[in-house]
Chain A
Amino acid sequence: MNIIRKVTLEGVNTRSSITRTIHLYAPCCKNQAGRYRITPRKDLPLTYEMANPPHQIAHRKAWNSWNTSNIDGGIRPAQTAIEDVFIRKFVTGTWHNLFVSEVIIKRQHNIIRIAGIIRRGIGARKMYFLIGYTEELLSFWLQCPIKLELQTVADKRDVVFKYI
């Protein structure tokens, strides 16, 4: 299905005509989001979450955000989505280079539970500080109780599901 169309604006002389080509190749319709390419050496580490493409959600893997905003009759869908993006950015930035899984955001009533797996890259005291810091600041901004429920792994290779 190779279609290349030339759209020429009429009324303009041919020397300075504006040409626009529209590509409608079949490869242009290919889904690429959330999929990873196989590397020549087969050494790209993938977590379970990364190993399963988005169409496997609700089959092999679950959602990263759990809330009732998008069900029928749910309230605040837009605000929830924006807040989730903000929480993800804040958490990954605050726990810099420590999160080895995705940030999982679960909402129950007005509580927001932020879960995930982190690497034991910093000491326990720093970790406790960061937990308190994240909870305090996020609950101030979002005006609701925040709970951070983290698991730690010794090495980031612990969460690797496969190499491609």
Chain B
Amino acid sequence: MLSYSRSFEKFLFSNVEKSLPFSIAYSTEVKKEVKEEFRVLNLKNVKRQTQPKRAQKQLEALPPRTNKMPVDQDWGSVWPGPRSFHPASVPLPVRQGYVEKGVAPDKYANAELIKIPNFLHLTPPVIKRQCEALKKFCTPWPKALENDKECEKHFPIEVTSSDYCHSAPTIRNPLARIVTIKFKLSSLNLNERAKDKFLRLVGERYNKETDTVAIVTDRCPLKKQNYDYAMYLLTACYHESWNVEPWEELKSEADMEYYDWSKNASKKSVEALFGKQTEDIPNVKEYSEAVSTLMNEGESEYSVTKYGDSVRKLLGLPDAPKT
């Protein structure tokens, strides 16, 4: 407590010292005022007569130019580009907003109209004019590519990639790197064995219903790199499927994943039965197909009946009696 009071005294003293010149100045001011009027001690802090508020300076603005617009004006030059709505430039009595009772707020000082995106710069005549201007940069469509079939024939590979437009200062989007190439398997020059190998290499990328192969690449950071990689994959798969490895020759009948009539005992026995080559035997094609279906797809009423019919045909027997 003692120390506190001491310091307080010290503080007071230093304050007095400092404020001394100011107090002198103050006293002179008082003398000046005394000549005019006594100062009133305003203890209760009663407000004096309040001064009238200074009126805000009203700045003149030109009347809206919609008043002066002719009816047949060229709207494209009034509103040349995308812009927020401005009531003084749009000569339309538009309203926006919800009022429970009464009419919606009009276009003047209406923030809702500024917020919503407008297409006042894309009126049909302006679009027409822009298309006319762009026409000279266009080339005619090649005559050889009249229909989709021709296009598919000359350009068998379909490349799909996406570009993204964002409202951001960057034009990059990681999803833009993904490239998909699609082509029909029939457009490739492959034989039976190579086709089988190609399908094994491609796996689930092949769609059996549409006969298309779709390769999606997204492992590289750029679109160009992914496109190149997809093309590399296609080339590599194609050449690899034509390639016959030494161990592929070792494939025996037991390794076959489907029944091939021409490599099986059935063909040999038929040849032995007729004493001719397979090509010379009549109705053998139907028989071979029936046997293949029976072996590949399993026994069903249809396949068994078909097998019986084909055997009768092959051996020249009369048709089975209808039940």
Contacts and interface: CB of A to CB of B under 8 A. Distances in A.
Q: Do A and B bind each other?
A: yes
Interface in B78-125: 82-84, 86-88, 97-98, 105, 108-112, 114-117
Contacts of A101: 109, 111, 114
B59 A73 contact: no
A69 B168 CA distance: 8
B115 A75 contact: no
Given A109-B165, A152-B61, A62 B112 contact: yes
B116 A62 contact: yes
A66 B82 CA distance: 15
Contacts of B166: 68-69, 74-76, 109
A40 to B, nearest CB: 23
A107 B109 contact: no
A144 B61 contact: no
A151 B114 contact: yes
Contacts of A108: 82, 167
A149 B83 contact: yes
Contact of A69 (B61, B108, B167): B167
B111 A48 contact: yes
Interface string A52-83: 10000001111110111100011110001000
A158 B109 CA distance: 7
Contacts of B114: 101, 104, 115-117, 149, 151
Nearest to B110: A48
A149 B86 contact: yes
Interface in B20-78: 56, 58-59, 61
B196 to A, nearest CB: 40
Given A48-B105, A151-B114, A107 B59 contact: no
A159 interface: yes
Nearest to A117: B109
A123 interface: yes
Measured as residues with beta carbon below 8 angstroms from the partner, the interface class of chain A is 35 or more
Contacts of B97: 48, 60-61
Nearest to A162: B99
A153 interface: yes
Given A75-B173, A106-B117, A149-B84, A116 B111 contact: yes
Contacts of B298: none
A64 B42 CA distance: 50
B175 interface: yes
Contacts, number: 104
Nearest to B56: A121
A9 B187 CA distance: 79
B170 interface: yes
Interface string A95-130: 000001110101111100101110011111000000
A135 interface: no
B321 interface: no
A121 B170 CA distance: 37
A122 B59 CA distance: 8
Contact of A110 (B108, B111, B168, B175): B168
A120 B58 CA distance: 7
A2 interface: no
A149 B85 CA distance: 9
A120 B98 contact: no
B168 to A, nearest CB: 5
Contacts of B169: 110, 142-144
A95 to B, nearest CB: 15
For B110, B111, B116, B166, which residue has the most chain A Cβ atoms within 10 angstroms?
A: B111
Contacts of A117: 109, 111, 114
Contacts of B105: 48, 161
27 contacts: A48-B105, A48-B112, A59-B98, A68-B167, A69-B166, A75-B166, A76-B166, A76-B170, A100-B109, A101-B114, A104-B84, A104-B111, A106-B84, A106-B117, A109-B167, A110-B171, A113-B84, A116-B111, A117-B111, A117-B114, A121-B59, A143-B169, A149-B83, A151-B86, A158-B108, A159-B111, A161-B105
Instruction: Return the 7 tightest CB-CB contacts between A and B, nearest first.
Output: A107-B167, A149-B84, A62-B115, A60-B98, A101-B111, A115-B84, A144-B169
Given A68-B168, A69-B167, A80-B168, 15 more contacts: A48-B97, A48-B110, A48-B112, A60-B97, A61-B112, A64-B115, A75-B168, A113-B84, A116-B114, A117-B109, A121-B56, A143-B169, A149-B84, A151-B86, A161-B105
Interface of B: 56, 58-59, 61, 82-84, 86-88, 97-98, 105, 108-112, 114-117, 164-171, 173, 175
